Chains A and B, each alone.
Chain A
Amino acid sequence: QKEVEQDPGPLSVPEGAIVSLNCTYSNSAFQYFMWYRQYSRKGPELLMYTYSSGNKEDGRFTAQVDKSSKYISLFIRDSQPSDSATYLCAFQTGANNLFFGTGTRLTVIP
């Protein structure tokens, strides 16, 4: 069983739609739950992170963690064409190295 599972998409939505991205994980040692955004030909950049179960909101983005189900989500409200990118879930243990999902490619159509 892979440690992280993420639907690779691609996902295509109209501008203004609500986007839901999800990952499941199996490693109970994961302490930090992160979402990275990667634009074409660029490196991943940290978008949001959480430490505990629950929701964390930052503008149009909401990160949700359910440790009991080992499930994390990222919601994007009022999606914009500039949100078109690949979104990667990532996890960190105390050892610092990151474990990534395969990424979901999102396209927001104007």
Chain B
Amino acid sequence: EAGVTQFPSHSVIEKGQTVTLRCDPISGHDNLYWYRRVMGKEIKFLLHFVKESKQDESGMPNNRFLAERTGGTYSTLKVQPAELEDSGVYFCASSQKRSQGLDEQFFGPGTRLTVL
């Protein structure tokens, strides 16, 4: 079974440009999460989709970030316009919907974003 995939693996853009990151979750996983790791800091939650609906977007830093999950399948995270502090590694994770118990999240390899 294929794991979580992310594209691109690395993106270098200039301040003010737009970048779109893509995540393909494990097939059948209703939950999709975005996380970000800024250099030297911990991995931090950005938002959570259940199918196509945003369940929790409390971690989104500001309105320059827009996440979508069309049809409850893949998800995109757009940063527009990008700022220097947006540099970091963006991880996507997915999990099966469970009524109780641990929500085991499977992570993709991440997209390394560098804003110059």
Whether chain B is bound by chain A comes out as yes
A→B interface (CB under 8 Å): 4, 6, 32, 41-46, 49, 51, 88, 92, 95-103
Q: With A4-B42, A95-B56, A97-B33 known to touch, is A43 a contact of B102 (CB < 8 Å)?
A: no
**Is B48 located at the chain interface by the 8 A CB criterion?**
yes
Among B4, B45, B55, which residue has its beta carbon within 8 angstroms of that of A43?
B4
Query: Contact between A43 and B42 (Cβ–Cβ < 8 Å)?
Result: no
Q: A44 and B56: CB pair below 8 A?
A: no
In the complex, B107 has a CB within 8 A of chain A: yes
The count of A-to-B residue pairs whose CB atoms sit within 8 angstroms is 54
Interfacial chain A residues near B4, Cβ < 8 Å:
43
Q: In the complex, are the beta carbons of B42 and A101 less than 8 A apart?
A: yes
> B residues 1-50 with Cβ under 8 Å of A?
4, 31, 33, 35, 40-45, 48
B104 touches A46 (CB 8 A): yes
Chain A residues closer than 8 Å to B93, beta-carbon distance: 43
> Is the beta-carbon distance between B109 and A98 smaller than 8 angstroms?
no
B95 → chain A closest CB, angstroms: 8
CB–CB B45/A98 < 8 A: yes
